């Protein structure tokens, strides 16, 4: 069965939306919310929004003639037919309270996005604990190279689309799909790409079995004429196969029975992989990536398998993947200082940090530095030993304050606990705790040597430190 993604978008199955003329979005500057707003604008809806902070995404919305207020705007609430809000918005938000007082319908972002996916015959949902953003980006670049004109929503800035979203005119929607609070169960996929399943978001999920069960429910959403692309090397994905009647295509490195396998993997001086792809044990294509690490071989295999099923030519896939140099905050080069190279990465889970560490080890460098900002108290506490183990591989380790995100510290955990855990078995230079970003930047600038690698890593504000290091 060949999947075709070139038909013109027809706004059918949108009866749920047709009744709304004015949609107001609280937290419109969020990654997903800003993309939704732009889609609605193109479809002819009147969209307004509010956000707590000015940002590049907010500026882009305003450029697209979408009115955005920084702070609150109760007048827009009064005129709206529907209020869409992000999960980060508290129930006692002023605009939320006003909507409830006036009896105006409210809808959480993922539920509303699920309605939008109904408009597309080919909604491609990219999911998994790790690698979603990169794989979504790779797929996007390939579909654009093939002139499929997709709509795209990705969790980071992708330079090929000038942002984190693109509104196309075809019946194809490439969508990064997160498992947190099981939000991906609101979508209507034709294709699912599942990269891996790992322990994460333990502030919501009870344990790994709970996470695996969420993915089982996700797979059950696929129609019989759908497509499941899944990592056969990941043992936690084994429970998925028997839960769908859709077509299953597997990828991997260690399992020769996979439909798509990477062989003869090597790396250049930048740590960029070169490998041969085999399809059903027959040579398919040699691939050269422009992003580092073995984890990106897996991401590329998922992309290649999906593209093949959608009829994209091998040479087009090869060309597009060679052009892809990474999404924002994915082992992204920030700049240099004193001959040292400063990188920034979004990784906030031990598996993600290890992937970046392994990618770094493929490069030629002098010493390694890491500045890590833990993300959420629950993740730090539950995975403390795993964080300590993977961070211990760096030569110089700085831990800064935990980024609370959506949580309050009811667990009695702190960054010094992580520092102490790292230092238990550490021989030589000890990990240190530093809270002030300016002090961290100066500390590193004063000590780095030529050809050192400095990595700032975490899902919070730690991304601000890299520019402080290179620009001071």
Residue 61 burial (C-beta neighbours within 10 Å; 0-12, 13-18, 19+): buried
- 205's enclosing H/E stretch is none
pLDDT higher than 60, residue 150 = yes
Q: Is 182 a catalytic residue?
A: no
> Pairing state of beta strands 282-288 and 332-337?
unpaired
For 316-338, the pLDDT digits (tens) are 999 999 999 988 888 899 999 99
Phi/psi at 82 (5° precision): -150, 140
Q: Residues of 411-425 as b/e, b for ≥16 C-beta within 10 angstroms?
A: eebbbebbbbbbbee
pLDDT higher than 70, residue 11 = no
The CA distance from 469 to 472, in Å, is 6
For 174-204, the pLDDT digits (tens) are 999 988 888 899 999 999 999 999 977 767 7
From the list 341, 368, 371, the residue with the least C-alpha distance to 458 is 371
State the catalytic residue, choosing from 95, 176, 182, 309: 176
Contacts for 213 with CB less than 8 Å, ≥ 6 apart = none
Q: Is 224 a catalytic residue?
A: no
Q: Is 315 a catalytic residue?
A: no
For 361-375, the pLDDT digits (tens) are 988 899 999 999 999
Give the pLDDT band (50/70/90) at residue 86.
confident
**CB hemisphere CA count around 208 (13 angstroms):** 10
Give the pLDDT band (50/70/90) at residue 163.
confident
- Most confident range, picked from 152-161, 305-314, 347-356: 305-314
Domains and CATH numbers, the chain: 17-114 (3.40.50.720), 120-323 (3.40.1190.10), 332-471 (3.90.190.20)
State the catalytic residue, choosing from 31, 48, 129, 133: 133
What number is the average pLDDT over the span 378-406? 94
Whole-model pTM? 0.87
pLDDT higher than 90, residue 12 = no
pLDDT higher than 60, residue 13 = no
State the catalytic residue, choosing from 132, 318, 354, 363: 132
The alpha-carbon radius of gyration of the chain (Å, integer) is: 22
Q: What is the pLDDT of residue 17?
A: 78
Other beta carbons within 10 Å of 78? 12
């Amino acid at each position: 069965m060949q999947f075709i993604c070139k038909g013109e978008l027809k706004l059918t199955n949108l009866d749920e939306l047709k009744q709304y003329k004015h949609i107001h979005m609280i937290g419109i500057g969020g990654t997903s919310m800003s993309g939704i707003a732009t889609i609605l604008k193109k479809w002819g809806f009147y969209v307004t929004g509010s956000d707590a902070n000015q940002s590049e995404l907010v500026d882009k919305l305003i450029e697209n003639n979408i009115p955005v207020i920084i702070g609150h705007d109760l007048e827009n609430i009064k005129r709206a037919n529907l209020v869409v809000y992000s999960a980060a918005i508290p129930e006692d938000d002023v605009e939320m309270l006003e909507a409830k007082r006036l009896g105006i319908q409210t809808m959480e972002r993922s539920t509303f996005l699920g309605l939008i996916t109904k408009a597309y015959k080919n909604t491609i949902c990219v999911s998994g604990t790790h690698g979603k953003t990169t794989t979504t980006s790779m797929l996007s670049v390939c579909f654009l190279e093939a002139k499929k004109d997709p709509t795209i929503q990705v969790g980071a800035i992708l330079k090929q689309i000038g942002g984190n979203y693109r509104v196309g005119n075809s019946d194809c929607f490439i969508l990064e799909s997160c498992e947190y609070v099981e939000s991906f169960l609101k979508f209507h996929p034709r294709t699912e790409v599942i990269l891996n399943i790992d322990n994460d978001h333990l502030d919501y999920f009870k344990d790994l079995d709970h996470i695996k069960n969420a993915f089982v429910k996700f797979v059950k959403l696929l129609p019989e004429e759908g497509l499941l692309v899944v990592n056969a090397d990941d043992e936690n994905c084994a429970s998925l196969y028997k839960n769908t009647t859709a077509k299953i295509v597997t990828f991997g490195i260690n399992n020769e029975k996979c439909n798509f396998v990477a062989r003869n993997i090597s790396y250049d001086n930048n740590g960029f992989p070169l490998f041969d792809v085999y399809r059903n044990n027959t040579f398919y294509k040699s691939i050269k990536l422009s992003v580092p690490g073995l984890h990106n071989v897996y991401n590329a295999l998922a992309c290649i398998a999906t593209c093949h099923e959608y009829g994209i030519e091998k040479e087009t896939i090869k060309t597009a993947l060679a052009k892809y140099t990474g999404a924002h905050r994915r082992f992204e080069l920030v700049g240099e200082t004193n001959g040292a190279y400063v990188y920034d990465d979004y990784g906030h889970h031990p598996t993600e940090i290890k992937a970046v560490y392994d990618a770094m080890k493929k490069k030629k460098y002098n010493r390694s530095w890491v500045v890590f900002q833990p993300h959420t108290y629950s993740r730090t506490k539950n995975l403390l030993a795993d964080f300590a183990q993977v961070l211990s591989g760096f030569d110089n380790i700085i831990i800064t304050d935990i980024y609370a995100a959506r949580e309050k510290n009811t667990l009695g955990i702190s960054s010094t606990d992580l520092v102490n855990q790292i230092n238990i078995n550490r021989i030589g230079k000890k990990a240190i705790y530093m809270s002030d970003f300016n002090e961290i930047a100066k500390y590193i600038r004063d000590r780095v040597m030529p050809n050192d690698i400095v990595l700032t890593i975490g899902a919070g504000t730690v991304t601000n430190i890299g520019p402080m290091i290179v620009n001071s």
